[in-house]
Amino acid sequence: MILATAELIGIFQWLHGFLVDLGLKEPWLSIVVYCLLSVTVFGVLCLIALFLVWWERKIAGHIQQRFGPMRNGWHGWYQTVMDALKLLQKEDIRVDTRDKAVFFWAPVICFVAAFMAYIVIPFGKGLIVADLNIGILYIIAITTFTVISLLMAGWGSHNKYALLGGMRSAAQVVSYEVPMVASILTVIIFSGSLSMVDISNSQQGNLIFNWFIFRPPFGIIAFITYIIAATAEANRTPFDIPEAEQELVAGFNIEYSGMKFAMFFLAEFVNMFTVSAIATTLFLGGWNGPLLPSWLWFLIKTLLVVLLLMVFRWTFPRLRVDQLMEFAWKFLVPVTFANLILAGWMKYAGWYW
């Protein structure tokens, strides 16, 4: 049975009514409702992250002509749950020379920042925690927090490999933020709004051809550059130099163990889902689509983008750090800005749309 989006919203409307009946007054009513919403989103995302870890291992397995996890349940479906449980039981090994506060807060910030973006991501028609009018700007601001946490992890571990990893990640994410924002701005020119809901709404109708990716050539160029920048943003191969295993052993998370490591690990997968969700909302019509309920459309599209990122990871070698920078500043930035300026000019001249 597929839950219609209206039913999902209905549950919360019923809850809201129930709380009003209980006699809750503002601001407590809003606080309780938003807390419940956040917990729901958090829970769903944790499930998605666990699923993605399993999925990634499956995809890696099948690309490499293996099976991947097979032992825990049907095709190992609860493998990651068991992994997480195992990591929870692990001793939390801490280096004596660490910077205590920085070392402790780094995974927390990474984890929290990864989830904060979901406040403004529309999972379906009306399925959004808060429709901020600066939605996409908020996401860009929040996801950048991840860099701080990686830098903190690198610095706090008191390990040279970790420090190198942290510095690399800072340099990388800051560089790739520029083309990423430029590609996002192209979409904002199309939609005329920063709100995620407005962006989704403006891609409604006409089967799928109102999606911003189908606005050649700017839409498709912006999409490709966005995907490249997003891969770098999510620290995935071929841009995974912050944790380049063969160079820096594990990079920024080298000294982390147990649940702290798991927090980095889950945050990485949540980040991957975030960038894919943004790609879906901005370029692939968000939750728009015929027949199926809107949240399912959103999920399918996002998972397809995630699949793309995963296939990248298991097919490409890793770039070198200087090539990475050159690619960002000498290629992506000019291309995205040219794209942005041309799109803006076309819009201003009113030739196209």
Distance in Å, CB of 317 to another protein, minimum:
4
Asked if 318 touches another protein (CB under 8 A), the answer is yes
295 vs 310: CA distance, rounded Å = 22
- Chain centroid to CA 258: 23
- Closer of 13 and 64 to another protein (Cβ): 64
Coil, strand or helix at 127: strand
160: tokens are 């040279």
64 binding another protein? (CB under 8 A): yes
| DSSP conformation letters of 81-96 | HHHHHHHHHS-----T
Contact pattern from residue 3 through residue 42 relative to another protein, giving x for each residue in contact according to CB under 8 A and a dash for the rest: ----------------------------------------
- Binds another protein by CB under 8 A, chosen from 53, 185, 197, 241: 241
Closest distance between another protein and the C-beta of residue 15, in Å? 46
CB 169 within 8 A of CB 325: no
143 binds another protein, rule: CB under 8 A: no
Q: Which of 237, 280, 294, 302 touches another protein (CB under 8 A)?
A: 237
Nearer to another protein, 112 or 167 (CB): 167
Residue of the chain from 216, 290, 317, 350 that contacts another protein (CB under 8 A): 317
Site residues for another protein, 163-192, by CB under 8 A, read 164, 167-168
Please choose, from the candidates 173, 195, 344, 127, the residue with its C-alpha nearest in 3D space to the C-alpha of residue 275. Answer: 173
Q: Which of residues 87-126 bind another protein (CB under 8 A)?
A: none
Burial of 281 per CB tally in 10 Å (0-12, 13-18, 19+):
buried
Residues 264 and 153: beta-carbon distance below 8 Å = yes
Could you tell me the CA-to-CA distances from 19 to 22, 40, 130, 278 in Å, in that order?
Answer: 5, 17, 19, 33
Whether the bond into 317 is cis, omega within 30 of 0: no
Q: Toward another protein, which CB reaches closer, 112 or 224? A: 224
Q: Which stretch binds another protein (CB under 8 A): 1-9, 49-57, 62-70, 139-147?
A: 62-70
Please report, as ranges, the residues that interact with another protein according to CB under 8 A: 60, 63-66, 160-161, 164, 167-168, 237-238, 240-241, 244-249, 313-323
